[in-house]
Amino acid sequence: MRTTYNCLQEFISRLEQAGELLRIKQPVSPILEITEIADRFIKKEGQALLFENVNGYEAPVLINAYGSLKRMCLALGVEDLAEIAADIQSMLDISPPENLRDKLSILSKLFSFTKFSPRLIKSKTPACQEVVLTGDDIDLYKLPILQCWPKDGGRFITFPVVFTKSFETGRRNVGMYRMQVYDKKTTGMHWHIHKDGAANYHEYKTAGKRMPVAVAIGTEPAVTFAATAPMPPGLDELLLAGFIRKKNVELVKCKTIELEVPATAEYVLEGYVDLEESRIEGPFGDHTGYYSAAAPYPVFHLTALTHRRKPVYFTTIVGKPPMEDCFMAQATATIFLPLLRTQYPEIVDMDLPQAGAFHNCTIMSIKKRYPYQARKLMSALWGMGQLSFSKMLLITDDDMDIHDYKLVVRQLLDKLDPRQDLLFSEGVLDVLDHSAPQPLYGSKLGLDLTRRMPGEFKQRDKKATAKNLPTIEALLAGIPHIIDAQLPFPDTRLKLLLTAIDKSRPFQAREAATAIWRNDPSACIDIILVLDGGGDLHDLSYVAWKMFNNVNPNCDITFYKNGQILIDVTRKYKQEGRHRDWPEEIKPDRDTVNKVDSYRIKNRLAD
């Protein structure tokens, strides 16, 4: 029997029963302090946090509710996320009927899916409209909305479930787009150009009609998750939510616009987007771990603000991974794998490493049947939906545990033939990718780690492991601007050297690599990866995060004539072909860090 929740507060009770919730009574500020505390818990997979004493506000703040795979399972009411994937697989396993029994079986499956469609209810006072504010009574500043990071452009609503409809078809879309608060009644609406909400916006703009928008904050977990899901165009996200929870999502009509919203939401913002108005939104400390730049976006005007009598403000933060959204991404990869297999049945498993910040790295294992199948799949995925934004795509055989990242890297360094196993391409990139010379478009890299089969390039002779591998000291001799170096896998066939430099001029990474190879006459080091100083080279997740963010493959991977490879992970100058400003890495405010240190908030995982 699947656990379902009628509202967010029922989920909070379930978290507490499971020992997954920490109530914090210490007075805190929503300006930077909640973020600093939450970030510490998230990084250690600590509990969900309910801040009960937010300075100047009555409503408590819930954060990190989805910050572990266990809590994602609790949120979606299952013991294992694979249960939901199995339900989807069962719906997809429909063969042509051969008799009446088969036809009845198909009808039964289709009915079991459609019976969970959202349902409009009539209620004199639904929970989400126990308090109704209009006109001058609307005041977003009465909500404990966070400023997450020191250089953010302001306060942002980070967990909004945004409801729009297509002007042409009337179909509902439910998405999640951050919203910067401008004043008591207006916010930004951060629609990326590839999102369905933006497509609806352009339909209204073409028709010259004002666009109604509703925003629910604090919905029950399946609805919040569905708003982030990569649904095929035209399918209602609330149908997915109902299918997950095995129960209809109940909706009520808004008070001032012609849209419907979840009846049990904590808060609902009703209003419209003016099609001729835009305003600068940002900067914002984003899920890449860097600030996304300020840019013009549409403006959302509130016509009503409704809420429960005693609402909980539900929020999240994003930044340098791991973050709470990483676990939502892992859930998405598991749940939607059956849909991906309908088009590419060779796929066995998929992983989105947290260090890849969603789109920067995808790992897949396949059951390979014919030559160059991995390359065919790479090309197909780079043209498919959200996976088209994958900058680095690594494909292995089906007997590889792709969730063991150290094993994957070892296999890469043992098996890779850099002259044959790399596929470079170009295409669309996520709008947050800053590594490419221009926005939204750049190079991509595919790595084929599958075993050779007849008809493919022959594997070149393996290089023998060097017996006299130079010491780190010998490799760095006479190179003053290198401040650290590590050889993380000295026993693999290809030798990878991680280095950090104090970069002060263009092309300094190339200078460093050239100097190191001069100190390596036996050519023991095959790959040099150069980063900026300031991080821990022993922390391979940090190294991976930097590499996935900062490398534009065609520009930043250099092959030398003797087969050696430089991967330049450093911040780039405009002279190095980057004509855009390089974004700033998110770092906490020192005064806030010191203040939070004094609070001594501890628990079993985060002390």
Cα–Cα distance for residue pair 502/481, rounded to 1 Å: 6
Beta bridge partners of 269: 215, 305
Question: Could you tell me which of 64, 65, 70 has the C-alpha nearest to residue 37?
Answer: 64
Lowest mean pLDDT across 198-207, 399-408, 409-418, 462-471:
462-471
* CA distances (Å), origin 607, targets 34, 48, 235, 400: 16, 14, 44, 36
Q: Determine the average pLDDT of the residues in 256-282.
A: 96
Task: Give the model's confidence band at 462: pLDDT under 50 very low, under 70 low, under 90 confident, else very high.
Answer: low
Supply the pLDDT for residue 604. 43
Length of the chain: 607
Host H or E run for residue 597: helix 590-599
- Amino acid (1-letter code) at residue 355: A
pLDDT exceeds cutoff 70 at 111: no
Say if residues 497 and 529 touch (Cβ distance below 8 Å).
yes
Report the chain's mean pLDDT, rounded to a whole number.
Answer: 91
Residue 286 annotated as catalytic? yes
Task: Give the model's confidence band at 457: pLDDT under 50 very low, under 70 low, under 90 confident, else very high.
Answer: confident
Beta bridge partners of 338: none
Q: Tens digit of pLDDT for each residue in 335-382?
A: 999 989 988 999 999 999 999 887 899 999 999 999 999 999 999 999
pLDDT exceeds cutoff 50 at 290: yes
Which residues lie below 8 Å from residue 157, measured CB to CB, with a gap of 6+? Answer: 145, 178, 179, 181, 187, 215, 217, 315
pLDDT exceeds cutoff 60 at 461: no
DSSP secondary structure letter of residue 345: T
Select which of 39, 152, 196, 286 is catalytic.
Answer: 286
Question: Could you tell me which of 170, 171, 192, 188 has the C-alpha nearest to residue 179?
Answer: 188
Question: Which tops the pLDDT comparison, 174 or 606?
Answer: 174
User: With 0-12 CB in 10 A as exposed, 13-18 as middle and 19+ as buried, what is 246?
Assistant: middle
Cα–Cα distance for residue pair 305/255, rounded to 1 Å: 9
- Amino acid (1-letter code) at residue 498: L
Cα–Cα distance for residue pair 430/17, rounded to 1 Å: 39
**Domains in the chain, please, with CATH?**
8-314 (2.30.110.10), 324-448 (3.40.1670.10), 472-576 (3.40.1670.10)
pTM as predicted = 0.92
Cα–Cα distance for residue pair 440/442, rounded to 1 Å: 7
pLDDT exceeds cutoff 90 at 197: no
Question: Which tops the pLDDT comparison, 256 or 388?
Answer: 256
Number of C-beta neighbours around residue 504 at 10 A: 8
Q: Tens digit of pLDDT for each residue in 53-110?
A: 999 999 999 999 999 999 999 999 999 999 999 888 876 655 555 554 544 454 445 5
* CA distances (Å), origin 330, targets 144, 223, 535: 29, 17, 26
- Amino acid (1-letter code) at residue 78: V
Supply the pLDDT for residue 605. 38
Task: Give the model's confidence band at 601: pLDDT under 50 very low, under 70 low, under 90 confident, else very high.
Answer: confident
pLDDT exceeds cutoff 90 at 385: no
Lowest mean pLDDT across 17-26, 335-344, 463-472, 522-531:
463-472
User: With 0-12 CB in 10 A as exposed, 13-18 as middle and 19+ as buried, what is 534?
Assistant: exposed
Say if residues 448 and 397 touch (Cβ distance below 8 Å).
no
Supply the pLDDT for residue 104. 44
What the block records as the tokens of 289 is: 């771990």
Cα–Cα distance for residue pair 210/218, rounded to 1 Å: 26
Question: Which tops the pLDDT comparison, 386 or 399?
Answer: 399
Question: Could you tell me which of 288, 277, 315 has the C-alpha nearest to residue 431?
Answer: 288
pLDDT exceeds cutoff 50 at 607: no
Supply the pLDDT for residue 463. 57
Instruction: Extract the runs of DSSP E, i.e. beta strands, from 293-399.
Output: 295-307, 313-314, 347-351, 361-366, 392-397
Supply the pLDDT for residue 374. 95
Question: Which tops the pLDDT comparison, 49 or 113?
Answer: 49
pLDDT exceeds cutoff 70 at 560: yes
Supply the pLDDT for residue 45. 85
pLDDT over 90, % of the chain: 74
Residue matched to tokens 């499956």: 109
Task: Give the model's confidence band at 39: pLDDT under 50 very low, under 70 low, under 90 confident, else very high.
Answer: very high
Beta bridge partners of 277: none
Question: Could you tell me which of 238, 556, 289 has the C-alpha nearest to residue 432?
Answer: 289
